[in-house]
């Protein structure tokens, strides 16, 4: 059950982009498992991809196509099959799907970007996918974003989408985004697919700057289980149908994009496999932001911390032990302060004289938890978002292929 997360309401259209969905029977029958985003000529794109060296075939192909043409005419996304661990055959399958979309769109193969998510190590059912594409492309509409968010789900329990709007010279500029992700989640693009689009006019180089800034502060600050996927991708499209972004509008656009990505990133965590708690690990007082990140991630990845969170057990020693083993050079235990949901537990490296177990347990019982760690050294900060680790997580992943 997703923690404090509901299905998105209707997502606004992006001028110049239409969306289609369809059922290709990739893994489950009678459900949409395929989506296309169709872009009018002139649409610019930027992307961030997994850092897992064992990257899936669609990641390889999408990277190549994006490098060759930063102005795609279509994105094609399937769920149920990752097309990973499939070697040269997998690359050929991804390109075959791109070719089918390109022919239907009157475009070049390099103008189509493929994306896949699902089971690793199985060939992509190309015939099924290619057979479903013509109807999807013909029936694509500007208001198909919510249905696309459903079509790309795997173990997700809730479709994920959000939007933001700003005014640029009295012209409304919109950003709409959808995401999928629930398990195999950690930084370096987490294990997810994210598709963002704006009707603003932005050159590809600047688009890459906006996206990189947003990803580093949002999608690279989440973790559910510490695993980085083979298929992670985040794409930002700019159709150019509305106002151009320059001058003082650049900061406002970046803020809106960051805010949207933060909401989508947190929605992935809230829907973490088997999650019963949404947890923020907020570190301040570090020697640098990078050291703060290392501390935060060590705590967030600790299975002992995560199981204590699931049990609502105020076993703060597990958090303290994780802080102590983080790979940082400037940690001074005598300066560390630790609080959970405002309940002070450790002050100056030892237990707070005012702390008692009842208050700690009450703080841990909440669905939303903030673990605040002040290292007392300098001004470095970092917040990451994670979940507890439940029995249900084990069940979902034990039964994933059955």
Show pLDDT as tens, one digit a residue, over the chain (402 residues). 689 888 888 899 999 999 999 999 998 888 999 999 999 999 999 999 988 888 899 999 999 999 998 899 999 999 999 999 999 999 999 999 999 999 999 999 999 999 999 888 999 999 999 999 999 999 999 999 999 999 999 889 999 999 999 999 899 999 999 999 876 555 554 458 999 999 999 999 999 999 999 999 999 999 887 666 778 899 999 999 999 999 889 999 999 999 999 999 999 999 988 889 999 999 999 999 999 999 999 999 999 999 999 999 999 999 999 999 999 988 999 999 999 999 999 999 999 999 999 999 999 999 999 999 999 999 999 999 999 988 887 787 787 666
In order of 93, 146, 177, 331, the CA distances from 14 in angstroms are: 30, 13, 10, 48
The two three-digit tokens of residue 235, written as one number: 């794409």
pLDDT of residue 189: 46
- Total count of residues recorded for the chain: 402
pLDDT of residue 69: 85
Rg (the chain; Cα; Å):
22
Contacts of 32 (CB under 8 A, 6+ apart): 21, 22, 23, 147, 150, 151
φ/ψ region of 382 (left if φ > 0, alpha if ψ in -120 to 50, else beta) reads: beta
| H or E segment and range at residue 270 | helix 249-270
pLDDT of residue 398: 80
- Comparing CA positions, the residue from 171, 169, 164, 224 lying closest to residue 196 is 164
| Strands, E assignment, 181-230 | 193-198
- Domains of the chain by range and CATH? 17-268 (3.60.70.12), 278-398 (3.10.20.340)
Residues marked as catalytic? 191
């Amino acid at each position: 059950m997703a923690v404090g997360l509901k299905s998105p309401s209707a997502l606004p259209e992006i001028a110049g982009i239409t969306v289609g969905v369809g059922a290709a029977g990739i893994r489950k029958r009678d459900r949409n498992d395929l989506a296309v985003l169709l872009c009018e000529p002139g649409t610019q794109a930027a992307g961030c991809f997994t850092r897992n060296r064992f990257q899936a075939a669609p990641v390889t192909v999408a990277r190549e196509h994006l490098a060759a043409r930063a102005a795609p005419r279509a994105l094609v996304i399937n769920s149920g099959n990752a097309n990973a661990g499939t070697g040269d055959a997998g690359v050929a399958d991804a390109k075959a799907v791109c070719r089918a979309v390109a022919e239907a769109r009157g475009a070049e193969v390099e103008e189509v970007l493929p994306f896949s998510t699902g089971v690793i190590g199985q060939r992509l059912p190309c015939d099924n996918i290619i057979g479903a594409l013509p109807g999807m492309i013909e029936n694509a509409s500007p208001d198909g974003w919510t249905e696309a968010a459903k079509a790309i789900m795997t173990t997700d329990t809730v479709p994920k989408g959000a939007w933001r709007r700003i005014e640029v010279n009295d012209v409304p500029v919109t950003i709409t985004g959808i995401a999928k992700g629930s398990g195999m989640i950690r930084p370096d693009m987490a294990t997810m697919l994210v598709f963002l689009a704006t009707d603003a006019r932005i050159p590809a180089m600047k688009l890459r700057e906006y996206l990189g800034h947003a990803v580093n502060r949002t999608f690279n600050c989440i973790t559910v289980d510490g695993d980085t996927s083979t298929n992670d991708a985040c794409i930002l499209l700019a159709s150019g149908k509305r106002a151009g972004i320059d001058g003082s509008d650049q900061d406002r656009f970046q803020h809106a994009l960051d805010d949207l990505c933060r909401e989508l990133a947190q929605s992935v965590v809230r829907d973490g496999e088997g999650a019963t708690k949404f947890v923020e690990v907020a570190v301040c007082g570090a020697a640098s932001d990078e050291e703060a990140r290392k501390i935060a991630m060590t705590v967030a990845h600790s299975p002992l911390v995560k199981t204590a969170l699931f049990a609502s057990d105020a076993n703060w020693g597990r958090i303290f032990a994780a802080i102590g083993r983080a790979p940082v050079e400037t940690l001074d235990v005598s300066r560390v302060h630790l609080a959970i949901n405002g309940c002070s537990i450790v002050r100056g490296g030892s237990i707070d004289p005012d702390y008692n177990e009842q208050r700690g347990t009450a703080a841990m019982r909440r669905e939303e938890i903030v673990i605040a760690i002040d290292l007392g050294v300098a001004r470095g900060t970092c917040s990451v978002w994670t979940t507890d680790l439940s029995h249900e997580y084990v069940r979902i992943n034990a039964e994933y292929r059955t």
